[in-house]
Copies of this chain bind each other. A is one copy, B any other.
Amino acid sequence: MMKLTILGCHSATPRENKHTTSQLLEVKGNLFLIDCGEGTQMQLRKSKVKFSRIQHIFISHLHGDHFYGLIGLISTFRLLGRTAPLTIYGPEGIKEIITLQLKLAKSRTDYPLHFHELTSNSSEIIFEDEVVSVSTLPLIHRVYTNGFLFVSNSKKRKINTSATANLDLKPFHFTQLQEGASIQLEDGRTIENSKLTLDPEQPKKYAYCSDTAYNENLVPLIQGADVLYHEATFLAQHQQLAEKTMHSTAKEAATIAKMANVKQLLLGHFSNRYPDKNEFIEEASKIFKSTEITEDLKTFSI
């Protein structure tokens, strides 16, 4: 299971109660921050997150509404006495910006700060551990931009607790069972793995795509995702503006969702010109029914 918290879902400039893009994804207790507009650290406080649990931050591109909150968050981590390492994934140049600001403030991080700069125009795996793998989704925008695909790793078999209830199993037995091995009891009996376990959970897939022009190259990369977040800065009535600024309309986002056969579509990165966000739902759901809009501090289960 994943839990997605929308910290900000508005485009361009932060306003009172309208925060620019940032999302927090929790995968089995691990927290991943995706983009970091100005004010993200205040939104994180509102959502009661323990800051030190964030160890990986993914920045899609170097437009301000997606990363102007990053240097402040890095500084706040230091002021809070952080010791846990932090890795920033983002376009080439992000290291130079952050280190220049730390240098001019005669500041430094007391915790290990790593940068993983991205330059590829093809999808690549940039992070992988026991619980999740993260790969890039190359987007089409005015500057070099990536979305990110999070896939939970579910290699461990599930314990069939009703089958194990009457056996006197030790902790190492459970580890062996999760890994797919058969076990030997203390009385010498061997029990086959399949009698005590169930197949691993289906991996969950979350695809994050902001900002991008209409981009059919995404379709094979996000095929069958459980949730697709796709930017919808504009409504179709402003199609020309979307093309000019290399953003998408709600209609285009829904078209991508339908082609990729995802289970659910979330829309965000709304232009400030639309007072009624339900228009985005109306436009998108004509093409792809299972559409929701994001809102600041709203959470979604994946």
Contact = CB atoms under 8 A, between A and B. Distances in A.
Nearest to A103: B93
A203 interface: no
A230 to B, nearest CB: 22
A89 to B, nearest CB: 16
Contacts of A97: 97, 100-101, 104
A163 interface: no
A96 interface: yes
Interface string A51-78: 0000000000011100011011001100
Interface stretch (A39-47, A193-201, A221-229, A251-259): A39-47
A22 to B, nearest CB: 13
5 residue pairs, one from A and one from B, having the closest CB atoms: A93-B104, A13-B76, A38-B72, A64-B75, A62-B104
A301 to B, nearest CB: 25
A223 to B, nearest CB: 31
Contacts of A14: 39, 41-42, 72
Nearest to A12: B79
A76 B14 CA distance: 9
A43 to B, nearest CB: 9
B15 A45 contact: yes
A104 B92 CA distance: 9
B16 A45 contact: yes
